[in-house]
Structures are given as C-alpha cells and as structure tokens.
Amino acid sequence: MTGATGKVGSRLATRLVARGHRVRALVREPSRAGELAGQGIALVTGDLLDADSLPAAVADADVVVHCAAFFRGATPAQAHAVNELGTRHLALSARDAAVSRFLFMSTGLVYGPNGGAPAHEEDACAPVDAYPQSKLAAERMLLEIDGLEVGILRLPFVYGDGDPHIQDVVPFMRRFPPGQRMSIGHHADVAQAVGRWLDTPSPAHRIYNVVDDATPDLATLFASVGEPPPDGSDPERAQAFAAVLDGRRIRDDLGFRPLFPTLADAMAVDDA
C-alpha cells in the first residue's frame, strides 16, 4: 500500500488487516507510521519520486493498492510529479517485480463539470484543476502498461470514521451554491469496494465509480457539522466540483451495496 498514513489509506489499511490481508506500507518517514506498525503492518521506506526506492516495496507482493496522492496545497507541477510520474514509477516497479494486480485510487473529479448529471465510467472527462488532471493522466498511463492488471476506483468525497473532512472543506466551499449536490462515500464503503475488487479475480471492467446511494446538497453537508449553508456567491468556481457519480457498474459487477447508503445513516451510527 501507498498512502497508508493518509486519511483514506490509514483507515483502509486497518480494514485490510482485519480482513486477513498481510499489508506492507510504503512510507517516507517510518517514525511517523508507528501506529501502522502497531497494527502488524510492515513498513518499508521509500518515495514515489525516487524510483530506485520502490523495488523493495513491491517485492513479492501480490497486489499494489496505490492510495498516495498530493492534493491540497500542491502546485500544478507538484501534483503532476507525485500523482502522475510517481504513479508511473510505482507501476513499472510493480510490473518488473511480477506483481499480478495494481489498484489505483482515483477521484470522481476527473469527470469535470457536467451540470450535476450522474457521470458514468464511459463518459468523457474534462477536469478543471491540476489535481484531477494529474489523476486522469495517471489513469490513462496505467491503462497503457502491458503486463500489469490495473483496476481504477474513482472515489467521491470521502467521510466518516472520525475523519474531519466535511468540517475541513467548509471554508473552501463557503461560497458554493447551497443546492449543489456532491457524491459522497463513507470510509467503510471505500474499504468495501477495495475488498470486493480484491476478491474478484478478473473484474468485468477496469474502472469503477464508488459512491453511496444518496447525493446530498452542500447545505445538508454543512448542516451535518453544525455549519450554516454556503452563500452561493461563487458558482463559477463551484462548477469544477459539480459532477456526481453513477454507481451502478460496481453494484452490478462486484455486488457492492453501501454499508452507509446516506449521510443520515452514518450520522445515526456516530450519534449512537
């Protein structure tokens, strides 16, 4: 695994261990990954931008689950370096080490603004910002590599499990339209999607959207953390985040059913 110290990766790594998988995590600073080691996760030091550090990370692995990414705070050059070039380094190392499968955690933002219509995996992609542009470039690069079975999960806005993600985005989205909808997915359902992909030897498709059943508007999302609705003063900027995801393919192919179909379901458990 990469990104095992991040918000998505740390929770996913814990759940993979609970499923009985032996997990090895690529980390840049082992001193900051003590909690992972305490859960029985093996640590190997390396960096996506240092190709020579990666063969040891992937040696004898059955699957690479690539969660690491540079998102908030990254310049366009940094986003493309880590998310595109770093992914290439990792994928080629995996192929050369005869790793059989490679699962890439991408983003639903690759679709770009489409007026809020549910985006299907076969739809054209036209992302606006550097982060999803770099993720889309990485997707396309991965799908062209011979000798490596690649899967791609396009994630929505991920929340839950004590992750302050909703609260964290309130300042950024404060000026977005309150009625704009956003696809969401609970950390438990991201892990479920990964587990179902791992359990399926040859999935029918290479790309799957991962999304819960309900798509709340931003006013509802803000209210879940006690915040007033956004004021709608910058609808143009908000358009970069206006795509919602069609989740039928992963349900039909892999039997995915959200453990938390709606935000209210997750909140009910958190309040219990």
CATH number at residue 82: 3.40.50.720
Q: Which two tokens stand for residue 93?
A: 């190392």
In a domain, 227, yes or no: no
pLDDT in tens, 79-97: 999 999 999 999 999 999 9
> Measured at the alpha carbon of residue 24, what is the angle toward residues 49 and 259, in degrees to the nearest 5?
105
pLDDT score recorded for residue 243: 81
In a domain, 266, yes or no: no
In a domain, 112, yes or no: yes
With 80 as the cut, is the pLDDT of residue 228 above it? yes
In a domain, 57, yes or no: yes
Give residue 272's pLDDT band: very low, low, confident or very high (50, 70, 90).
very low
In a domain, 269, yes or no: no
Range of the domain at 141: 7-162+185-214+245-260
In a domain, 195, yes or no: yes
Of 200, 210, 209, the C-alpha closest to 260 is: 210
pLDDT score recorded for residue 118: 94
Q: What is the mean pLDDT of the chain?
A: 95
pLDDT in tens, 37-85: 889 899 999 999 999 999 999 999 999 999 999 987 889 999 999 999 9
Cα 55 from Cα 117, distance rounded (Å): 42
State the pTM of this model: 0.96
Query: Looking at the 3D structure of the chain, how many domains does it have?
Result: 1
pLDDT score recorded for residue 271: 55
Determine the average pLDDT of the residues in 227-242.
Answer: 94
pLDDT in tens, 129-178: 999 999 999 999 999 999 999 999 999 999 999 999 999 999 999 999 99
